[in-house]
Amino acid sequence: MAFVLSVSHTREYGRDGVKGYADRLPAMRLFVSVDLPESLHDAVAAVQGEFADADGLSFTDPAQSHVTVKFLGDVPDGEAGAVADALETAVADAGVEPFDATYGGLGVFPNLDYISVLWLGVEAGTEPFVRLHEAVEQEFVAFGFDPDDHEFTPHVTLARMQHAGGKDRVQELVREWSPTVGTARVSEVRLTKSTLTHEGAEYETVASVSL
């Protein structure tokens, strides 16, 4: 299992959590992800294109397509190395070997009556994603992060609904259409930094851990 850290680890950090630091130290917004390869980006964009006439949707950048394994939130800059170490431990504990994931099918959060997020699902390879999430969740809750308050559903966010003008169109496509984007090998998990800008979120890999 290879481990690559893209930021400096300034000091060791005990498992008493990160809370209490964020309000007085520079912080980065982090999440754990599995990124889709470039070979699937055009297919993701094509699915998004079918929703182009659904008013109110704000689409994600297909080049940034990913499955969020766990959102961590703001983490002090100096703790990135310790967080990356925790991710390495979690991936080892999961015992997941490289696997093939097929991305397809559509869904929404929280439900079709009130749509907040439009997403692309995982048709095959769900079980390894769940095992990764369970190991990451256990390790990072022990570290001091809040536990997830919802059931884990591996997915790729396609768009967020800003207003309900195009809800009927979204409902129609989600109910009647089940596109398959393609299959890709999952061989690493990343610790990703998200920076919010006026143009949308920008992502940067902080560390990567091979399966």
Tens digits of residue pLDDT in 16-67: 444 444 445 578 999 999 999 999 999 999 999 999 999 999 999 999 999 9
Query: Which of 140, 109, 110, 126 lies closest to 15, judged by CA?
Result: 140
Q: Pick the catalytic residue: 9, 41, 66, 133?
A: 66
Which tokens is 35 given?
């990124």
9 is catalytic: no
Return the CATH number of 3-8+18-210, one of 3.40.640.10, 3.10.20.30, 3.90.1140.10, 3.40.50.300: 3.90.1140.10
Residue 8's pLDDT is 33
Query: Which of 113, 96, 101, 122 lies closest to 178, judged by CA?
Result: 122
Residue 111's pLDDT is 97
Q: Pick the catalytic residue: 133, 155, 163, 198?
A: 155
CA 86: distance to chain centroid? 17
Contact 102/123 with Cβ under 8 angstroms?
Answer: yes
Residue-range domain boundaries for the chain: 3-8+18-210
Report the alpha-carbon distance of residue 201 to residue 133 in Å, rounded. Answer: 23
Residue 2's pLDDT is 53
In the 8-state DSSP scheme, what is residue 38?
A: G
φ, ψ dihedrals at 22, nearest 5°:
-60, -25
Report the alpha-carbon distance of residue 104 to residue 81 in Å, rounded. Answer: 34
Task: Decide if pLDDT at 91 tops 90.
Answer: yes
| Confidence at 4, pLDDT banded by 50, 70, 90 | low
pTM: 0.87
Report the alpha-carbon distance of residue 84 to residue 202 in Å, rounded. Answer: 20
- Exposure on the CB side of residue 36, measured as CA atoms within 13 A: 31
155 is catalytic: yes
Tens digits of residue pLDDT in 97-112: 999 999 999 999 999 9
